[in-house]
Amino acid sequence: MLPQLTVPYAFGSTGYTLPEPTAPKGSYQLCVKSGNLLFLAGHLPQPVNGKLVVGKIGDSLTVEEGTQAAEYCGLNILATLKQELGDLDRVKRIVKVVGFVNCDDTFTQQPQVVNGASDFFGKVLGDRGVHARSAVGTNALPLGVAVEIEAIVEVE
């Protein structure tokens, strides 16, 4: 039987560098623990050393750009988890993901956009990254961002 890969090893295969967690953009905490669950606030699409991804999917941004933005949200969620837990191997499971997509009322590909975060979690965490999910379209998001992702995570 092969040994289970650790999260840092699997994360390294993504080609990303884990960023420093960003400060909240309002009067809230990025992460609140209750029992063995972590409730993560909405995280924004900001690549390492980059600017926030802003715009409407299906208008100023393509579905592919929206999917990439959702992946950046997932990356930032992992950064917050690392700060909170010290070790990403303490993540037992991503339980639930809620994705908000900035789009107009004719856009219907919200699930495809939010797949950026879902697929990223699966790639890094394997079966522990498979989760329940909602993907919602909205006419505006804070700071004009393209996507916002929040999560509930079970930890050891």
Alpha helices in 13-132 (DSSP H): 63-85, 110-125
Pairing of strands 147-155, 132-138: unpaired
Alpha helices in the chain (DSSP H): 7-12, 63-85, 110-125
Q: What local confidence, expressed as pLDDT, does residue 1 receive? A: 34
pLDDT tens, position by position, for the chain (156 residues)?
A: 333 445 555 566 667 778 888 888 889 999 999 999 999 999 999 988 889 999 999 999 999 999 999 999 999 999 999 999 998 889 999 999 999 999 999 999 999 999 999 999 999 899 999 999 999 999 999 999 999 999 999 999
Question: CB count, 10 Å around CB of 56?
Answer: 18
Phi, psi at 73, each rounded to 5°: -60, -45
Rounded-to-integer distance, Cα 145 and Cα 118, Å: 18
Rounded-to-integer distance, Cα 85 and Cα 127, Å: 19
Torsion of CA 49, 121, 58, 26, to 10 degrees: -60
Give the global pTM: 0.91
Q: What local confidence, expressed as pLDDT, does residue 148 receive? A: 98
Give me the sheet containing 147-155, strands edge to edge: 31-34, 37-43, 147-155, 91-102, 132-138
The amino acid occupying position 91 is V
Q: What local confidence, expressed as pLDDT, does residue 129 receive? A: 95
